[in-house]
A and B are shown apart, each in its own frame.
Chain A
């Protein structure tokens, strides 16, 4: 019974961390069709922002929940204005340029912080479930991941900003004719995506630690989740993350983390063989 509870939490945790690391990418890819290979580095920068802020005496919650997203959001908007903007409609060039950007960020951060692991302690303690102890912080992450998905849905569905964003993605020319400025919407969307990545990076920093090349560990999983999810941002991310999180954590429990990771990839390749447009390419078409 205790084991079942702990295992369920592990699975939920796996799903939550997949949602966190991929939601920023899902927004940028789903709305703008831009593949951002510097996504892993946005997470990494979010992690560093949280750690540096905490070490300078900022409250850890403010550092993770406020400083990280703001810093990375600003970096995202700057990157969009300087680089991505020039390459809209050239998907492959965007992909390559963001790869260059990713190397650039790794280089900058290595120069500043050195090639060592930095970390902060996870806040909150643990609670005992029978013979096991579970971390409250990990439990909180599950809640935050769910809250982020709900917030994005609410924003896209109910606010004027969300309406403008959806309209621009649907038909930029028509939106422009009605007085919306598409470049501004693109910049804002990219900024929001980056900010969410920064938030995720900050939240994950206490769990996994941060080092300049940590992005590589995240980016593969994030891409697998987003692509397997398909174009619908929320339904896609949630369904793909649930599937892969479950596969990953159960295999990890039964065998080793290594097999868990390999199983995640194998599941994704098989899934894309059957559903080349991702889960939401077939089901929930046209939804969010």
Chain B
């Protein structure tokens, strides 16, 4: 029922994801496959902010707090358990619970957008400072040492559920990550097409009107925020597994700003936009990392400024508007202009 409301564009994107998942391992070498794996993990992270900000209208600058919390939870749990399945589940649950607690204070305190942005950002930076200062033997959870700014190396990677002696090889990991990306992408579209999703979008459009119509605005915001935290946590566990390593950098301002840039560049109010923005920016960051001429922060700062000033809606909605103008079709996507 819900799937009937999903537009054909979603099916095309989903089919392309399946194509990449099946085709890439046959074509590219192992190094590129690992690159694609981390790109896909980050796309999941981009989707988490894409839904919270683009559809929920919640300005969350702390998506990397949940991402990092997921990564650290996976690391600590995997080291202690020696097995990855439960660790992955925990890496979704812990950030979700944290997001729910933080969201309760923010939404039930009825804080406005800008305050939300600043508070979530501050929470992230405090996590950054906290994890950075956990060096030394005193800071350990079970048998896992947190190691402060050095990070936690040689983490156990994903294994076949119930069989810790059989880790996943790179191709299997890639397929798993692509499958999760597909599930998150299609799942979010299905959710947004459901009654709940429509109310969430309605809240974004006009909070007061929704409240007068009898919907509990605070609860809807809290739920979508918590969902975003859970998805970001999942991305965190995938990231920790990818490098078998996690360090406080997952909480850094750089990580936080990258997520925002992906969504701004790709376009708010779409789900394919953050994915496109994420892949493009990740590719650019990788390329920039190989040369010495210009600093990556510098380039990203300029891109960030340029998009906010010149292409404020992002690539995908702008292209949609352009197409609508060129072909004289009714501007449908344009109506979802950037929301405050």
Contact = CB atoms under 8 A, between A and B. Distances in A.
Contacts of B130: 258, 261-262
Contacts of B106: 269, 272
Most chain B CB within 10 A, of A99, A219, A268, is at A99
Contacts of B102: 269
A155 interface: no
B301 interface: yes
A197 B205 CA distance: 37
B231 to A, nearest CB: 22
B302 A104 contact: yes
Contacts of A101: 301, 305
Interface stretch (B118-126, B180-188, B278-286): B118-126
Given A100-B308, A104-B305, A258-B133, A272 B115 contact: yes
B129 A95 contact: no
Q: Is the interface of B mostly helix, strand, loop or mixed?
A: helix
Interface stretch (B8-16, B86-94, B166-174, B292-300): B292-300
B125 A220 contact: yes
Contacts, number: 132
Interface residues of B, number: 45
A227 B299 CA distance: 30
A261 B264 CA distance: 31
A105 interface: yes
Most chain B CB within 10 A, of A86, A106, A227, A272, is at A106
A276 B109 contact: yes
Contact of A96 (B119, B134, B260): B260
A74 interface: no
A107 B297 contact: yes
Given A83-B305, A86-B309, A216 B264 contact: no
A104 B297 contact: yes
Contact of A105 (B59, B113, B301, B303): B301
B301 A223 contact: no
Contacts of B85: none
B318 interface: no
B128 A216 contact: yes
A100 B301 contact: yes
Contacts of B117: 35, 92, 95
Contact of A91 (B109, B114, B301, B305): B114
A103 B113 contact: no
A133 B134 CA distance: 28
B105 interface: yes
A96 B252 CA distance: 17
A160 interface: no
Contacts of A220: 121-122, 125-126
Most chain B CB within 10 A, of A86, A104, A108, is at A104
A263 B290 CA distance: 41
Contacts of B253: 213, 216
Contacts of A231: none
Contact of B301 (A106, A213, A224, A269): A106
Contacts of A99: 257, 260, 304
B3 interface: no
B164 interface: no
Contacts of B22: none
Given A216-B253, A265-B122, A276 B110 contact: yes
Interface string B310-340: 0010000000000000000000000000001
Interface of A: 35, 37, 83, 86-87, 90-93, 95-97, 99-108, 110-111, 213, 216-217, 219-221, 223-224, 227, 256-258, 261-262, 265, 268-270, 272-274, 276
Given A107-B294, A220-B126, 7 more contacts: A87-B309, A111-B294, A227-B119, A257-B133, A258-B129, A261-B130, A268-B119
20 contacts: A91-B113, A91-B114, A96-B260, A96-B304, A100-B304, A102-B301, A103-B301, A103-B304, A104-B298, A107-B300, A108-B295, A111-B294, A216-B125, A216-B253, A224-B118, A258-B134, A265-B123, A269-B105, A269-B106, A272-B106
Interface of B: 59, 102, 105-106, 108-111, 113-115, 117-119, 121-123, 125-126, 128-130, 133-134, 252-253, 257, 260, 264, 294-305, 308-309, 312, 340
